[in-house]
Amino acid sequence: MIDNFGDAGVTYRLVRNLIIELSGVRIRLFTNGLKAFSELNGDIDSCSKSQSIGGAEYYSYEVIDEEFLRKYPPAELVIEAFACNIPQLYYQTALNSECLIINIDHLSAEKWIEGIHLKESLTGAKAKKFFFMPGFTLNSGGLILDRIHSVSEKKQFRKDLCRFFKLDGDALIGTVFTYEHDFSGLISDIFTYGKKTELIIFGEKSRSSFEPLLMNFGFDRMGNRFSKKNMTVIFAGFILQENYDLLLKAADFNFVRGEDSWARACLSGRPFIWHSYFQKDNYQLVKVKAFNDLLKSYYADTELFGKLSEYQTVFNDRSDGVKDLPFSFFLENLEPISSSNEDMSEFLFKNCNLINNLLFFADSL
């Protein structure tokens, strides 16, 4: 089941990469959220219950009935994304066949996932089922990787970015794609920092967070573009997944959220702050601490890491009355933060290829 763009983004990315690795193999994606996929790829028709796009077949859950399963029985490999509760008729049919079911779970930096990764979930039927845990370490499932780009390519991305959004190439460029948050401190800190800064805002939650603040701070507006002093804010529409990936690599810093954009930020090597999905009793702070602990090994400057870790923790704390710490340390240290994040990116590309890990495991059974 797909109930947000993050889940759709990861699943769509998985399909795209499997098409590349498994040339000639038929890949079918079943979802209750074709609307989300149509935003990621404009060729996907959210009103069509079945369609073939870009080498994959996309189906609405509604097509699954006994007649459909007689024509298209479950594949040898069935991937259950995020414990999505496969429709019962399809699941029972799969269990009674000799197929392999792999549940790819949510991305996490928590250490406990290594103990679950590749463990079998007994089905009591013919089919075998295993847990597959994406992560950032050798003992996890890894990440769906991007293509590695050269320095010259990244420079071209930035030129294209500035041309598309009508930006000043000499300004700091940041992107914001978060959940609801009070960004008043960020705006004040950018004013105080003084360097010309241009922010590109994505998503309704980020936009609704900024809109009242821009009015309160007295920004001048021209369409979806707001300006005051050394700061420009641009409300951007939805862009293709591939273009957003390139944007993260071209920007000077990024605020990202959830899972898919978080993974892309880690691979980009650029400075970023992660905004975790809110969980009951502020449990997301456990996930943020786990990620901070992971980041620590890439930072030789312990003082800088301490500030980054503290800022990211406070940024994710949804307790009443909590205010962000000053962001100036981040703006003043973009180069060393980028250097450390590039080390993390290099490790991930060398050691954490989810697609390779997944296919190797499936072939071994």
What would the two tokens of residue 104 be?
A: 């790819």
pLDDT given for residue 41 in this prediction: 86
Separation CA 224–CA 217 (nearest Å): 16
Residue in this structure with the two tokens 């290099």, named with its chain if needed:
346
pLDDT given for residue 288 in this prediction: 98
Strands 28-31 and 56-60: parallel
Q: Taking a C-beta distance cutoff of 8 angstroms, is the pair 271, 338 a contact?
A: yes
DSSP codes joined into one string, 169-215: TTSEEEEE--SS---HHHHHHHHHH-S-EEEEE-SHHHHHHHHHHHH
Checking if the pLDDT of 3 tops 80, the result is no
Q: Is 55 left (phi over 0), alpha (psi -120 to 50) or beta?
A: left
Confidence tier at 111 by pLDDT (50, 70, 90): very high
Q: Which CATH code fits 5-144+353-364? A: 3.40.50
Confidence tier at 1 by pLDDT (50, 70, 90): very low
- CA proximity to 137, closest of 104, 109, 106: 109
pLDDT given for residue 169 in this prediction: 84
- Give tens-digit pLDDT for 210-236: 999 999 999 999 999 999 999 999 999
Q: Fold identical between 5-144+353-364 and 151-351?
A: yes
Which residues lie below 8 Å from residue 133, measured CB to CB, with a gap of 6+?
A: 105, 108, 113, 114, 116, 117, 140, 141
- Give tens-digit pLDDT for 306-327: 999 999 999 999 999 999 999 9
Separation CA 33–CA 329 (nearest Å): 41
Which residues lie below 8 Å from residue 195, measured CB to CB, with a gap of 6+?
A: 171, 172, 230, 331
The full length of the chain comes to: 365
Q: Which CATH code fits 151-351? A: 3.40.50.2000
Order across the sheet with 197-201: list the strands.
220-222, 225-228, 231-235, 197-201, 172-176, 253-257, 272-275
Write down the domain spans for the chain: 5-144+353-364, 151-351
Find the helix packing angle between 184-193 and 204-216, rounded to 10°: 60
- Give tens-digit pLDDT for 239-267: 888 889 999 999 999 999 989 999 999 99
- Give tens-digit pLDDT for 121-146: 988 889 999 999 999 999 999 999 98
pTM above 0.85, yes or no: yes
- CA proximity to 308, closest of 98, 239, 300, 9: 300
Determine how many CB atoms are found less than 10 A away from the CB of residue 124: 6
Determine how many CB atoms are found less than 10 A away from the CB of residue 281: 7
Q: Taking a C-beta distance cutoff of 8 angstroms, is the pair 58, 37 a contact?
A: yes
- CA proximity to 256, closest of 181, 324, 190: 181
> Helix, strand or coil for residue 97?
coil
Which residues lie below 8 Å from residue 44, measured CB to CB, with a gap of 6+?
A: 34, 37, 38, 51, 53, 58
